[in-house]
């Protein structure tokens, strides 16, 4: 059964890999690490080995059994293009995504050059199918090279998550990008995000015709800080999402297809 997500821009998570290692400042307060490490040593728990990188072959075909179309965030508890994940495992993940084409899959990585290399080798001519969205995380201007890697990736739908936004991004050319998410860091020790950084991104999306989703201001109490920006929420999605309705943050919780034993991301 699918594991529903509380992340504002998706429906469900699918973790055919768990665990990761830190790469840049955006990883400093990694939620996945914090969550996973709580269960290290708990025998029989899915995170018995904490945040150690673990391939999960038994999960590779899970989305094929989920009949209702969903937006699925792939590897919310890892990074699919971590260098220690075997190419054959990544290939099986893409095989499943291609076959389960009634869903939309959101693949988000910080290992953007490795994603580009894999995708351009697997799809040398025709781009990845449009129900498989490929994205990169950029937290600071000093990680903007990931945008260049994404633009050179043979995808039909590309997105960028500027989260946690840790500094001003400045002028940015979003040619070839279809969707931008922005948000501040939340949780213990959250680093502050200036409103001018968000407005600058939002304004450039509007000017360049890119859909914009503002996830949250963040902070230690993210609910209190909310997600209003200049008097409204920004919940835009790429046009290709027509077959799947994203849950609205204010919708009542859905209970169908939820694994009751899995109130945690797995
Ligand atoms: S890449 Fe993502 S999952 Fe991996 S440590 Fe960084 S924030 Fe966590």
Query: Could you report the per-residue pLDDT of 227-243, keeping only the tens digit for each?
Result: 999 999 999 999 765 44
Residue 161 is inside which H or E element, if any? strand 158-162
Q: Give 259's pLDDT tier (boundaries 50, 70, 90).
A: very low
Closest atom of ligand 1 to 26 CA is 7
Cis peptide before 164 (omega within 30 of 0): yes
Q: Pairing mode, if any, of strands 3-4 and 12-14? A: antiparallel
pTM for the complete prediction? 0.90
Q: Would you say the CB of residue 84 lies under 6 angstroms from ligand 1?
A: no
DSSP 219: B
Q: Would you say the CB of residue 247 lies under 6 angstroms from ligand 1?
A: no
Facing residues of 109 across strands? 136
Q: Which residues contact 82 (CB under 8 A, 6 or more apart)?
A: 17, 20, 21, 53, 111
Q: Would you say the CB of residue 110 lies under 6 angstroms from ligand 1?
A: yes
Please state, in angstroms and rounded to a whole number, the distance separating the CA atoms of residues 4 and 7.
Answer: 9
Nearest one of 63, 78, 28 to 191, comparing CA atoms: 28
Q: Give 253's pLDDT tier (boundaries 50, 70, 90).
A: very low
């Amino acid at each position: 059964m699918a594991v529903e997500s509380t992340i504002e821009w998706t429906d469900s998570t699918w973790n055919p890999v768990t665990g990761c290692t830190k790469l840049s400042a955006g990883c400093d307060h990694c939620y996945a690490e914090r969550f996973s490490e709580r269960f290290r040593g708990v025998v029989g728990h899915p995170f018995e080995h904490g945040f150690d990188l673990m391939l999960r072959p038994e999960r590779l075909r899970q989305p094929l059994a989920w009949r209702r179309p969903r937006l699925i965030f792939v590897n919310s508890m890892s990074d699919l293009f971590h260098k220690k994940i075997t190419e054959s495992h990544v290939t099986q993940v893409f095989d499943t995504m291609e076959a389960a084409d009634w869903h939309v899959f959101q693949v988000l990585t910080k290992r953007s050059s490795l994603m580009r290399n894999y995708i351009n080798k697997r799809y040398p001519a025709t781009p990845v199918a449009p129900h498989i969205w490929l994205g990169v995380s950029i937290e600071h201007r000093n990680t903007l090279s990931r945008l260049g890697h994404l633009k050179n990736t043979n995808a039909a739908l590309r997105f960028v998550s500027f989260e946690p936004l840790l500094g001003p991004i400045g002028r940015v050319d979003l040619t070839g990008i279809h969707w931008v998410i922005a948000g501040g860091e939340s949780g213990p020790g959250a680093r502050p995000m200036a409103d001018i950084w968000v407005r600058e991104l939002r304004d450039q999306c509007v000017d360049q015709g890119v859909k914009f989703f503002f996830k949250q201001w963040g902070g230690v109490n993210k609910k209190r800080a909310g997600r209003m920006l200049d008097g409204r929420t920004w919940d835009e999605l790429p046009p290709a999402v027509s077959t799947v309705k994203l849950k609205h943050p204010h919708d009542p919780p859905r209970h169908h297809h939820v694994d009751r034993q899995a109130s945690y991301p797995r």
